[in-house]
């Protein structure tokens, strides 16, 4: 059986197109792809009766006597639904919500999108004093660190000043002032949602003031204020979307997910954009896929909120949407955890056919376990799937059930 990195898929109705299966592992590049799709023998498709019978037997698991399941499997190569069980039931997606956030960001913002944090000044330099203010304009970069901050301080030093007559101000108008997500529980250990973070913590301005002082530059912190038009740019730090998507998906980083979510909101151009602006982007995409956005509830970008309600069918629709664009699909596959290899799937499916052949996002809340992503079947068909277990007593038992399903998908 070939691995995901070795597969080409099909023919469109008008012309041949290439969808590169990029389930890439270190050292697996350079393998010539093999053709699949039209002409590969419909009789061998994984929709055979014995395959369905095997799926049916998995659903007789004792786990499902006391909990709920939603499941959807779609054959991307054959472009057909393979299997569905309560796939239109509204359920809590947990962190598989991040699949929706990631696909929406890649589609709406573009693969070349960059997070930006900028430093401006007003006024003029007179002698050793800047007769004006410093403004840090936050772009909600969750990975902004000490190295980035050092660049800002060095830019101020290049002005040749030892003091700022005005203030050091934070422009956090990129998003609203709510510091928690809608529907987050009071006892969730979650990061503060603000456009200016340092190493993921809400200490940016305090730390910058300290570092400027250590560099011999006196400044007074001035709180929050919008940067005026006409201010001069001193420095900018940018970070590619891909560098934020990787921890968001591989390690299920909730802060990164919310930062991506609010990039969608900021796309509206409104100051202090809220989750509603991000929701508009996602609902528009849902509509383009042929679904009714009013049937679902997207409360945040990470899946932490208990207000989120999606269906396995919809999450598979997002995976199908990504698959149809080879560049978007590649970008998504590169950041999804690999079964038995890395991320939140490193310790799952370490043996058997599913290892290396499943790339999927995990999700966990109290009583909830979910898994959504791609699998490669033994006939070299690419599959998209979503499994949502709800009301489970043991998350680990739900994960074992999901792993058995994935093993069956790859056989």
pLDDT in tens, 106-136: 999 999 999 999 999 999 999 999 999 999 9
The confidence score (pLDDT) of residue 187 equals 84
Which pLDDT tens digit goes with each residue over 25-71?
333 333 323 333 334 454 454 456 889 999 999 999 999 999 999 99
- Which of 170-174, 218-222, 332-336 has the weakest average pLDDT? 218-222
Rounded distance between C-alpha atoms, residue 30 and residue 203, angstroms: 45
pLDDT at residue 3, rounded to an integer = 53
pLDDT at 82 over 90: yes
Q: Using the predicted structure, report yes or no on whether residue 5 has a pLDDT greater than 60.
A: no
Is-contact 349 410, C-beta < 8 A?
no
Strand (E) positions, 65-202? Answer: 68-75, 80-85, 114-121, 124-126, 129-131, 134-137, 163-171
pLDDT confidence of residue 314 = 98
The strand ranges marked E within 86-161 are: 114-121, 124-126, 129-131, 134-137
For CATH 3.50.80.20, the residue range(s) in the chain are: 114-241
Percent of residues, the chain, with pLDDT higher than 90: 85
The pLDDT tens digits for 258-271 are: 999 999 999 999 99
**What is the model's pLDDT at position 166?**
95
Average pLDDT over residues 321-350: 97
The CATH number that domain 4-112+244-409 falls under is 3.40.710.10
pLDDT band of 280, cuts 50, 70, 90: very high
The pLDDT of residue 188 is 82
Residues of the chain with CATH 3.40.710.10: 4-112+244-409
Note the pLDDT tens digit of each residue in 346-387. 999 999 999 999 999 999 999 999 999 999 999 999 999 999
What is the phi/psi pair of residue 189, to 5°?
A: -85, 90
**Which of 146-150, 151-155, 222-226 has the weakest average pLDDT?**
222-226
What percentage of the chain's residues is helix, strand, coil (to nearest 5)?
35, 25, 45
pLDDT, the chain, mean: 90
Q: pLDDT digit string (tens) for 291-306?
A: 999 999 999 999 999 9
Question: Given pLDDT bands bounded at 50, 70 and 90, which one contains residue 10?
Answer: very low
Say yes or no: domain 114-241 is CATH 2.60.120.330: no
């Amino acid at each position: 059986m070939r691995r995901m990195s070795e597969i080409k898929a099909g023919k469109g109705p008008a012309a041949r197109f290439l969808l590169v299966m990029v389930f890439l592992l270190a050292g697996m590049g350079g393998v010539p792809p093999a053709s699949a799709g039209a002409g590969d023998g419909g009789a061998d498709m994984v929709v055979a009766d014995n395959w369905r019978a095997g799926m049916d037997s998995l659903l007789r698991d004792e786990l499902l006597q006391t909990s709920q399941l939603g499941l959807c499997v779609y054959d991307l190569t054959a472009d057909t639904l393979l299997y569905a069980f309560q796939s239109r039931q509204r359920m809590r997606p947990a962190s598989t919500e991040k699949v929706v956030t990631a696909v929406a960001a890649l589609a709406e913002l573009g693969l070349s999108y960059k997070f930006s944090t900028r430093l401006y000044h007003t006024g003029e330099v007179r002698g050793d004093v800047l007769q004006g203010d410093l403004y840090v304009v936050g772009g909600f970069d969750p990975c902004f660190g000490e190295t980035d901050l050092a660049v800002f301080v060095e830019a101020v030093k290049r002005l040749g000043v030892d003091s700022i007559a005005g203030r050091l101000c934070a422009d956090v108008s990129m998003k609203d002032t709510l510091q928690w997500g809608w529907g987050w529980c009071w006892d969730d250990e979650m990061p503060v949602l603000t456009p200016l973070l340092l190493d993921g913590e809400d200490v940016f301005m305090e730390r910058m003031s300290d570092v400027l002082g250590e560099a011999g530059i006196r400044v007074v912190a001035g709180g929050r204020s919008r940067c005026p038009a006409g201010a001069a740019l001193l420095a900018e730090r940018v970070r590619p979307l891909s560098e934020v998507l990787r921890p968001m998906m591989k390690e299920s980083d909730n802060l990164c997910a919310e930062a991506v979510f609010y990039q969608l909101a900021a796309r509206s151009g409104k100051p202090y954009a809220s989750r509603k602006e991000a929701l508009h982007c996602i609902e528009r995409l849902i509509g383009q896929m042929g679904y009714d956005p009013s049937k679902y509830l997207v409360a945040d970008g990470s899946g932490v909120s208990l207000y989120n309600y999606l269906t396995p069918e919809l999450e598979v629709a997002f995976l199908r949407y990504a698959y149809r664009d080879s560049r978007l699909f590649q970008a998504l596959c590169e950041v999804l955890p690999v079964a038995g290899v890395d991320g939140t799937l490193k310790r799952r499916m370490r043996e058997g056919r599913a290892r290396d052949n499943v790339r999927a996002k995990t999700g966990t809340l109290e009583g909830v376990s979910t898994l959504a992503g791609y699998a490669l079947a033994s006939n070299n068909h690419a599959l998209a799937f979503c499994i949502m277990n709800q009301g489970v007593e043991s998350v680990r038992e739900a994960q074992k059930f999901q792993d058995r399903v994935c093993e069956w998908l790859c056989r």
